[in-house]
Amino acid sequence: MASSSCATCAQSYSSPLDPISEKPLFPGRDLLCCGRSICARCLNQNKRYETYCPYCQISTEPSALPQGLRDPPAYSPSSSDWTGPPPVDSAQGSDDDGKPPP
């Protein structure tokens, strides 16, 4: 495996045995999209990880879903055109005489 630990549960791959069951560790899965890896125990607990990267949030195998549902959301250039909140109207607070409220 490329990584030294599972990206999901942080289990180290340095030991050939599972610390809980003391059984040999089975190979996990290297994620080609981001270089992370997921251990066999996490793959068994969540079968979706066999065909899906939980970090990049894309399918790693062909799917019946349209392409748009597998890709991460794109940032549109219109979101950078935001000008901020409107200015504060000074006429709204004109009834304030400077004294604290009762």
Domain limits of the chain? Answer: 1-61
CA gap 82, 61 in Å, rounded: 37
Predicted local confidence at residue 96, as pLDDT: 59
- pLDDT per residue of the chain (102 residues) written in tens, 0 to 9: 445 788 888 877 776 676 677 777 677 788 878 888 888 888 888 888 888 888 887 776 776 656 545 544 455 655 556 677 778 876 555 555 667 767
Amino acid symbol at 17: L
Query: Do 24 and 17 meet the contact criterion of CB atoms below 8 Å apart?
Result: yes
Tokens for 34?
């981001």
- Helices assigned H by DSSP within the chain: 40-45, 67-70
Of the candidates 2, 7, 3, the one whose C-alpha atom is nearest the C-alpha of residue 55 is 7
Pairing of strands 37-38, 52-53: unpaired
Predicted local confidence at residue 1, as pLDDT: 45
Predicted local confidence at residue 77, as pLDDT: 57
Predicted local confidence at residue 69, as pLDDT: 57
Pairing of strands 58-59, 52-53: antiparallel
